[in-house]
Amino acid sequence: MKRKTFYLLLLPGVLFLTIFMVIPIALTIGTTFVDAGTFTFKGYIQFFTDDYFMSILWRTLRVSLMTTFICIILGFPVAYYISKLTGRKKMFLLLLTIFPLLTSPVVRSFSWMVILGRDGLLNNFLLSTGVINAPIELLYTPTAVTIGLVHLFLPLIIVTLVGVLENVDQDLLKAAESLGASKLTVFRKVLFPLCVPGLMIGSILVFVGSFTAYTTPALLGGRARVVSTFLYQNAITLNDWQLASIIATIMIVVTFAVITIMNKAAYKLNPKG
């Protein structure tokens, strides 16, 4: 009886996901293998043999990986500091951390346009201090996209790591120090391995979010296209739905591949989790 009730409660969600996600994705993927009524891989062969298409894919992967790496480097110390706090101070810092998620991506992107533009705040500051003699081209580059994505997704990895670090037994760290381990050794051999599963979850969120983001790359990237803006261009501007479907399928495959790899790695590192 309990199992029947469980399945009945599960049914609405399963139907919703099947109708509005699984079926549309299956139809989208299916159309990429059909050309003039025949089964073919022509579209994928053309994509992976075209230097321009591949340059967009590699640029997107580089930006996503760099965004993930920077978020890990910046997020870990912040998460460690917040996890040590208690009370109102901790809640206040967590609120500040998630505040960027409450702001529209358009507003955030336009703010970075003001900062990174040729006549923006950063270039004017560097020129006034004599660090540079001419404005640096920062806006409409992969660098600008990376900065915008780090601003967007850094809170995700911080919040994830705070939850993991809070559950680390402090006695383990003290025991390692009492046995003569330096703070660096304690971090490298005790603290960091305990945080790896949570770090991977945060990395998945950041990488997948960066790989599929549209608004930030569209506003800050300009002609430095990524797969999401390239998909939009083919679907809306060029009306090439066949190529747009192929791009969408590649994005889905890459996303699921990264999630699968990360999940397997997390399971090996923490099989009891």
At 263 the pLDDT is: 77
Q: Determine the Cα–Cα distance for residues 126 and 1; give it in Å rounded to an integer.
A: 70
Q: What is the pLDDT of residues 42-88, one digit of tens each?
A: 889 989 999 999 999 999 999 999 999 999 999 988 998 888 888 88
At 270 the pLDDT is: 61
At 223 the pLDDT is: 81
CB 144 within 8 A of CB 66: no
Residue that wins the pLDDT comparison between 270 and 265: 265
Tell me which DSSP letter residue 238 carries. S
Q: What is the pLDDT of residues 161-178, one digit of tens each?
A: 888 888 777 777 778 777
The answer to which of 14-23, 97-106, 185-194, 228-237 has the lowest mean pLDDT is 185-194
Largest alpha-carbon pair distance within the chain?
76
Tell me the one-letter amino acid at 132: I
Q: What is the pTM of this model?
A: 0.86
- Domains observed in the chain: 1-31 (no CATH), 44-269 (1.10.3720.10)
